[in-house]
Structure 1
Amino acid sequence: MSTKDSIPDHTGDSTAGVPASERPADGLSSESRLANRYGAPKPGLSARTKIVLGSLAAAAAVGAVVFMAIPSGAGTLTSKDVGFTIPDATSAVVDFNVTKPAEATVDCAVQVLSDSYAVVGWKTVRIPPSEDPTVSLSTSVRTDSLGVTGGVNACWIVEQDS
């Protein structure tokens, strides 16, 4: 029997059976050293706080869906390409419909594209107020080279000066 086995350890050290090379010099555990260096970990959110935040996020999502679903009072503005003809390399005729508020003046950008999708012709067409909200139009567009397709690029409501 060795003397080390017969002598009880009364120091209260929990590292008595651990070799000295593996024991920290200060006797602190790794959790204690991390807490001393970086501060104690912050507590997480309570269950009540998580429920409140989740409810607020759900209410905001429902509100956004309702807001997007309600039509605006300004009316809708849409265009639809009906057809086109390419009589020669210097012109094209584009047929289209525009649905707009009856009292609104609208400008539409009509374009003609080449086979490489380059814009070879462009024209802005003004549509005055009318009784019918849907207007059918046909416009001739001059082109720089042979076009292969034509249509409306965009339409917008023109603000009238009072």
Structure 2
Amino acid sequence: MTTQDQPAVSPPADTSLANRYGSKKQPLPRAVKRGIAVAALAAGVGFMAWVSTSSAGSDVTFKDIGFTTIDATAAEVDFQVTREPGTAVKCAVKALDSKFAVVGWKVVDIPPGEADGTADGGRTVSQRVTLRTESLSVSGVVDDCWIPGAGT
């Protein structure tokens, strides 16, 4: 005698999914969501304050104006430096070859200037620097400018 197999009664879908994957997660309480939003807002405001004050601390800016190759052993770089009057500045100037390798390098001392009647009050000074090069250069740029002794 054979008996027919009875179809198995399957458990409800919610129960089988809960057994397999775990129960549904509870949503975050409103107070926790509000706390996360306040913390994110405070972090954003703090970041913006840091960005605005860190860029304001940079008292020296520079701008490349021109470059001239004199020959295979020399080049001239023209640039402007803007700083507060009465502040001495050092600038690193470099000459590059066609493969962007540094072929000349010099640190230039810019003496403190005095405030004058110009539009910017004597903050901007123009400089021309002659660099000795080890081979023919195709460009010359200011690498960086800084106030000696600041931040050390």
- TM-score computed with the length of structure 1 as normaliser: 0.69
User: Structure 1: how far apart are the matches of 2:77 and 2:20?
Assistant: 77
| CA shift in 2, pair 1:31/1:96, >3 Å | same
| CA shift in 2, pair 1:103/1:75, >3 Å | farther
Q: Secondary structure at the match of 1:50?
A: helix
Task: Determine the structure 2 residue equivalent to 1:87.
Answer: 70
1:114-129 matches, cutoff 5 A: 114-129=97-112
Work out the number of aligned pairs and report it: 137
Quote the offset at 1:101 in angstroms.
2.1
List alignment gaps of at least 5 residues for structure 2: 115-121
User: Structure 1: how far apart are the matches of 2:55 and 2:144?
Assistant: 19
Q: For CA contacts below 8 A with separation 6 or more, give which structure has more relative contact order.
A: 2
Q: Secondary structure at the match of 2:91?
A: strand
Q: Secondary structure at the match of 1:104?
A: coil
User: Structure 2: how far apart are the matches of 1:116 and 1:72?
Assistant: 32
CA deviation profile, 1:57-78 (whole Å, cap 9, x unmatched):
1232133224433576756211
**2:81 aligned with 1:98:** yes
Percent of paired sites with the same residue: 41
CA deviation profile, 1:29-88 (whole Å, cap 9, x unmatched):
5635776xxxx7764421221122112212321332244335767562111111111111
Question: Aligned-pair RMSD on alpha carbons?
Answer: 3.1
User: Structure 1: how far apart are the matches of 2:133 and 2:71?
Assistant: 9
| CA shift in 2, pair 1:74/1:32, >3 Å | closer
**2:14 aligned with 1:31:** no
Quote the offset at 1:97 in angstroms.
0.6
Which residue of 130, 134, 140 maps to 1:144? 134
Quote the offset at 1:110 in angstroms.
0.4
List alignment gaps of at least 5 residues for structure 1: 5-15
